[in-house]
Chains A and B, each alone.
Chain A
Amino acid sequence: MLGLLNKKVIAIIIVFLLIVVAYNTTFETNKDGVLVLETPATPRYLDPATNYETTGGNIISNVYETLISYNGSSTSEIIPVLVEAIPTVENGLLSPDGINYTFDLKRNVKFHNGDIMDADDVIYSFTRVIRMHQGPSWMVTQVLNESGLIKNDDHSVTFRLYKPYSAFIFVLTHTVCSIVSKDVVEAHGGIEDNSMNEWMNTHMVGTGPFKLKEWAEDRSFISIERFDGYHGTKALLDEVIIKSVSELTTRIINLELGYADAVYVPPTMLDEVRGKDGIVVNEGAMRLAGYFICMNCQRPPFNDVRVRQAATLAFDYEFLMDYIYQGLGQRYVGPWVHGIYGYNDDLDPYEQDVEEAKDLLKEYKAEKGISGDLEVTLYYTMSEISDLVAQLFKSNMDDIGIEVTLQFLSWPSLLEKVKGKDVGTKDEVIGEFEAALLGWLSDYPHPDGMSPIVKWDLRGPGGNNAWYRNDYVSQILNESEVTTNESRKLEIYHEVHEIVAEECPYVWTIQPNTPFVFRKWVKNYVESYNPFMGRYYATVYKDK
């Protein structure tokens, strides 16, 4: 039967395969001191001055350190990491005008190559962020330039801002402000204005509890190992391996087999793993992110507040929460999310009220002389959830007389739509869309990190996606950035909150949780998570 291949050859092939299978089963697939995580994403860059996405950011926050950071899972309590104290007016390290921030560095903090960190490294780290001018650098350059980087002595630096910015302390917690070794960077390309450093994109020498062990050339995994010379509490794990596996079913199988200790599962698919032996499904922690449908406030029909209010009232938030997000999230009213200082918990989110929505639309149509349905297009990028949300929006708008066409676009194409066409001065540019499904992740957990989405001077992608214009809102938000009067700041945030809630430039859909799915033997997995910094692996361990 076997034709070209005689029986001997077939027998050899079969015996060979059996040997391979048998030998392969003797290999370790799970080690006690090694945490294996599987996620669909893969980091892009490992240079803190260049990286601007979550996956790389979480690696960076475990290998590099910033001068200050958050205490555990808190997003408001800031603690010193590489410095002795947080600058305040009371301790004299912050000038009363909010311009000068002085930091006394901790002594004997080692980089992974054994060098000791000093003021030169700190100054250099910020210099390269400013001069390289890559993705996340705007957070620093919005208030700081090179002349503001002052070395007082080998263990003390001062940042002199060129304008007061009360959220600067929060900016310093972002990974873009990580401290790198001047000697190491200088030995590998140094600083080139407006350019990336290719070596730093693929190598890491930080002061964190982990050091880079390997980043596979094919980008299939990245591994970090414990740094025994760490200045703080040593990590409990020997190693953390993060593997890129795009297929959900494969990740789940690997988790069940113990090949992976934790995997990413989107909220809509958690039922696939709930109840399985040895697997924990935790609802996870709140994210400092808000998803929304932005309505172009400069283009009909959403340039009329009544239509925006009608869309906001027509949306079925309960269905979204219970069925699409499986209860993993909470309602919110933008532009800020829960957990951000200044969020007004007394402000209730809209509930669905189809009748009121219809009344508002009727009033609008009567005034404009429109008889049929309004027509809009909703643009979105494909993900496991966005398709469902888009369908829900379409269905809800159909109920009140707004006909929605759904259009899936790639991310660059969607950005192009939101950006709009340049037809002259910037005031003549408006986004080329009626509605778009987007979200916003706070770059730092402070109202200033999220207020761009309602500021007219930041209209377009990366800011005010809805092209919402309220000059008073923009004006008082600008005031809040410079004032050091805390009660005035809070007053501004609450006032903006109320105005934006009334004017509805966005349908604030959900502030999602990040669910955690992991094996029972992984300990401290939930507690090690910070909604802003991601997971701090140093406190995670395995106990089989």
Chain B
Amino acid sequence: MKLRTFIARRLLLLIPVLIGLTMITFTISHIIPADPAQAWAGGDKADQAQVEAIEEEYHLNEPLHVQYYYYMRDLLRYGEMGRSPVSGRDVSEDIKEYFPATFELTLFAMFFVIIIGIPTGIFSAIKRNKVPDHLIRVVSLMGSSMPIFWLGLLLQLVFAQWPALHWGQPILPPSGRIGTFIDPPTHLTGLFTVDSLLTLNAPAFTSSVAHIILPAFTLCFAVLGTIMRVMRSSMLDVMNQEYMKTARAKGLKEKDVIYKHGVKNALIPTTTILGMAFGGLLGGAVLTESIFGWPGMGRYAITSILFLDFPAIMGFTLLMGFVFVLMNLLVDILYAYLDPRIRLG
């Protein structure tokens, strides 16, 4: 099947997936026995008229299927995700503010995963059953079992608190997205590092890069161990293949055998994991964002859940669902590119 047809088909399939997602999320969030209108109206002291006004605005007194109809109508006809009763803004506005922060954090986390996880996985395979291999495997196990919040706190202590106590200056800032006294860069993409680079804003660039290092490294640890192990085992698999022996027999340097012939094939399963990890990190950055005061989707999601902010819950879930499906598609396409034997569809 041609690539274009494959992509078109997958994008069309996205529609029923997202509709199904909205139905399930809508139902689950609305059947919780609670009265969000009271909380949205201002809590226990809100008077009945205010509560009724909120119920009217959000159709809370209508049957569930009618509420769902109104939600889908506004989404499809106007592109509106509804007004968040907690933030007071349209959910799409909230997402525009919070999503770039999480996206930027995830991008940097993935960058760390790639530049650390893949090379170490390869090296571990090359040095199989030797000391470096054992050390790397221990580290990968730590990565999978270490609680993210604990790692985050540890990094704050090691890179911020202790250096400040001993040398009077932290190595890296412990929280936030940019220095308190640095103006954020002009909003172009919402990614501080990219926007500051595009606007040649050196203070904003260095400050935003410095601020993202610790949270991104913390976040990357969640998948780093897995990537290291997957890369190791697929390299081992590849290195035992006949064509690798042929390449060696032809007199190629070991370096060329490994990197030109082996790594590309070994990357195939790793790419799949990376793609899924990206989606997972986007949705699962809550703890990291809390520890480092990172104003992203994680914190937004928590607040929405605690206040039963239906529009925000729906918006967040739709977005994450869309990202997951998109990442799946991209991984499949990349898969086909890496391995010409694979035919799409």
Residues of A within 8 A of B (CB): 1-5, 13, 17, 19-21, 23-25, 27-29, 31, 34, 36, 44-45, 52-53, 133-136, 138, 194, 196, 198, 201, 216-221, 241, 243-247, 249-250, 253-254, 256-257, 259, 409-413, 415-416, 418-419, 438, 443, 461-463, 465
Most central of A1, A3, A194 by chain B CB within 10 Å: A3
In this assembly, does B172 line the interface, its C-beta being within 8 Å of a C-beta of chain A?
Answer: yes
B180 touches A135 (CB 8 A): no
Task: Indicate if the CB atoms of B38 and A245 lie closer than 8 Å.
Answer: no
B42 within 8 A of A: yes
Q: Is the Cβ of A443 less than 8 Å from the Cβ of B45?
A: yes
Q: What are some 5 contacts across the A-B interface (CB < 8 A)?
A: A29-B180, A29-B181, A138-B45, A250-B156, A410-B305
* Residues in B whose Cβ lies below 8 Å from that of A2: 119, 123
Give the chain B neighbours of A253 by CB distance below 8 A.
156-157, 160-161, 174-175
Taking a contact as CB atoms under 8 Å apart, the answer to whether B32 and A413 are in contact is: yes
Q: In the complex, are the beta carbons of A250 and B292 less than 8 A apart?
A: yes
Does B110 have its Cβ within 8 Å of any Cβ on chain A? no
Give Cα A103–Cα B25 distance, bound, in whole angstroms: 54
When A3-B119, A462-B46 are in contact, do A21 and B293 touch as well, CB less than 8 Å?
no
Tell whether, in the assembled complex, residue A465 and residue B44 are in contact, meaning their CB atoms are under 8 Å apart. Answer: yes
Would you give the shortest CB distance from A521 to chain B, in whole angstroms? 16
Distance to closest chain A CB from B48 (angstroms): 9
- CB neighbours of A19 from chain B (8 A): 206
Question: Are B306 and A254 within 8 A (Cβ)?
Answer: no
- Which of chain A's residues have a CB closer than 8 A to the CB of B156? 249-250, 253
Closest chain B residue to A139 by CB distance? B45
Do A21 and B299 touch across chains, with their CB atoms under 8 A apart? no
Q: How far is the CA of A462 from the CA of B49 in the complex (A)?
A: 13
- Kindly state whether residue B277 has any CB partner on chain A within 8 Å: no
Complex: how many Å from CA A2 to CA B116?
Answer: 8
> How far is it, in angstroms, between the C-alpha of A243 and the C-alpha of B179 when the chains are bound?
12
Which partner residue on chain A sits nearest B101 by CB separation?
A: A218
Q: Which of these, A29, A220, A461, contacts B38 with CB under 8 Å?
A: A461
Decide if B295 is an interface residue (CB 8 Å cutoff): yes
Binds A, one of B5-13, B61-69, B163-171, B316-324: B163-171
- Taking A21-B210, A250-B291, A254-B174 as known contacts, 14 extra A-B pairs with beta carbons closer than 8 A to each other, sorted by chain A number, are A21-B171, A52-B42, A134-B50, A198-B88, A201-B88, A219-B295, A249-B156, A254-B175, A257-B161, A413-B33, A415-B34, A415-B35, A419-B38, A463-B44
Interface: B53 (CB within 8 A): yes
Query: Are A220 and B177 in contact, CB atoms less than 8 angstroms apart?
Result: yes
Q: Is the CB of A243 within 8 A of B180?
A: yes
Q: Count the A-B residue pairs with Cβ separation under 8 angstroms: how many?
A: 192
Query: What CA separation (Å) do A1 and B290 show in the bound complex?
Result: 35
Residues of B within 8 A of A259 (CB): 173-175, 180
Residue numbers in A under 8 Å from B210 (CB-CB): 20-21, 24
Question: Is A412 touching B206 in the complex (CB atoms < 8 A)?
Answer: no
- Bound: A415/B42 CA distance, A: 11
Q: Which of chain A's residues have a CB closer than 8 A to the CB of B86?
A: 44
Contacts of A219 in B (CB 8 A): 87, 97, 295
Q: Which residues of B contact A (CB under 8 A)?
A: 32-36, 38-39, 41-47, 49-50, 53, 86-89, 97-98, 101, 115, 118-119, 122-123, 153, 156-157, 160-161, 164-165, 169-177, 179-182, 184, 202-203, 206-207, 209-210, 213, 259, 263, 290-293, 295, 299, 305-308
B263 touches A412 (CB 8 A): no
Q: Are A134 and B203 closer than 8 Å at their CB atoms?
A: no
Determine if B49 and A24 form an interchain contact, defined as CB atoms under 8 angstroms apart: no
A189 to chain B, nearest CB (A): 13
B98 nearest in chain A by CB position? A218
B307 partner, pick from A23, A31, A198, A411, beta carbons under 8 A: A411
Is there an interface contact between B119 and A412, defined as CB atoms closer than 8 Å? Answer: no
Contacts of B173 in A (CB 8 A): 24, 29, 259
- State which of A29, A135, A463 has its C-beta within 8 Å of the C-beta of B42: A135
Residues of B within 8 A of A53 (CB): 43
Given contacts A21-B210, A218-B101, A249-B153, contact A416 B180 (CB under 8 A): no
Contacts of B157 in A (CB 8 A): 253
How close is B302's CB to chain A, nearest CB, in angstroms?
8
Given contacts A245-B293, A443-B45, contact A24 B206 (CB under 8 A): yes
Q: Which 5 A-B pairs have the closest CB atoms?
A: A135-B42, A3-B119, A413-B34, A24-B210, A461-B44
Closest residue of A by beta carbon distance from B156: A253
Contact between chains at A410 and B306 (CB < 8 Å): yes
Contact partner of A136 among B33, B42, B88, CB < 8 A?
A: B42
**With a CB–CB cut-off of 8 A, which chain A residues contact B213?**
17, 20
**Contact B35 A412, beta carbon cutoff 8 Å:** yes
Q: Give the most central of A28, A218, A410: most B CB within 10 Å.
A: A218
Q: Complex formed: what's the CA distance from A447 to B258 in Å?
A: 81
- Inter-chain CA distance A194–B41, complex, in Å, is 12
In the complex, A51 Cα to B275 Cα: how many Å? 43
Q: How far is the CA of A1 from the CA of B120 in the complex (A)?
A: 7
Chain A residues whose CB sits within 8 angstroms of the CB of B181 once the complex forms: 27-29, 31, 34
Instruction: Give Cα A416–Cα B50 distance, bound, in whole angstroms.
Output: 16
A23 with B206: in contact, given A253-B156, A416-B33 (CB under 8 Å)? yes
Are A5 and B119 interface neighbours, CB within 8 A? yes
Measured in the bound complex, the distance between the Cα atoms of B38 and A24 in whole Å is 46
Contact A256 B182 (CB under 8 A): no
How distant is A279 from chain B, measured CB to nearest CB, in Å?
13
Q: How far is the CB of A489 from chain B (nearest CB, A)?
A: 23
Residues of chain B within 8 A (CB-CB) of A216 are: 184, 295
Distance of A443 from chain B, by nearest CB (Å): 7
Q: Are A245 and B43 neighbours in the complex by a CB distance under 8 Å? A: no
When the two chains form their complex, are residues B45 and A52 in contact, meaning their CB atoms are under 8 A apart?
A: yes
Q: Give the CA-CA distance A257 to B162 in the complex, in Å.
A: 10
The distance in angstroms between the C-alpha atoms of A194 and B56, with both chains bound, is: 12
Contacts of B47 in A (CB 8 A): 138, 462
Closest residue on chain B to residue A418 by CB atoms: B44
Q: Are A135 and B34 in contact, CB atoms less than 8 angstroms apart?
A: no
Complex-state Cα separation, A215 to B87, whole angstroms? 13
Q: Are A3 and B259 in contact, CB atoms less than 8 angstroms apart?
A: yes
Residues of B within 8 Å of A221, CB to CB, are 180
Give Cα A52–Cα B50 distance, bound, in whole angstroms.
Answer: 13
How many angstroms between the C-alpha atoms of A410 and B47 in the bound complex?
20
Chain B residue at minimal CB-CB distance from A411: B39
A28 to B123, CA, bound (A): 42
Q: Quick one: closest B residue to A277, CB to CB?
A: B165
- Pick the residue among A136, A194, A243, A246 that contacts B176 (CB under 8 A): A243
Given the interface pairs A1-B119, A257-B164, A412-B34, the reply to whether A246 lies near B293 with Cβ below 8 Å is: yes
CA gap between A70 and B208 in the complex, in Å: 43
| B37 closest partner in A (C-beta) | A412
Nearest B residue (CB) for A441: B45
Q: What's the nearest-Cβ distance from chain B to residue A28, in Å?
A: 5
Would A133 and B50 count as touching, CB distance under 8 A? yes
Find out whether the CB atom of A257 lies under 8 angstroms from the CB atom of B295: no
Residues of B within 8 A of A17 (CB): 213
Bound state CA distance, A253 and B161, in angstroms?
A: 6
Q: Kindly provide the distance from the CB of A50 to the nearest chain B CB, expressed in whole angstroms.
A: 8
- Distance in angstroms between the alpha carbons of A60 and B36 in the assembled complex: 26
**What's the Cα separation between A138 and B46 when bound, in Å?**
8
B122 and A247 form a contact (CB under 8 A):
no
CB distance from A422 to the nearest CB of B (A): 11
Contacts of A247 in B (CB 8 A): 175, 290-293
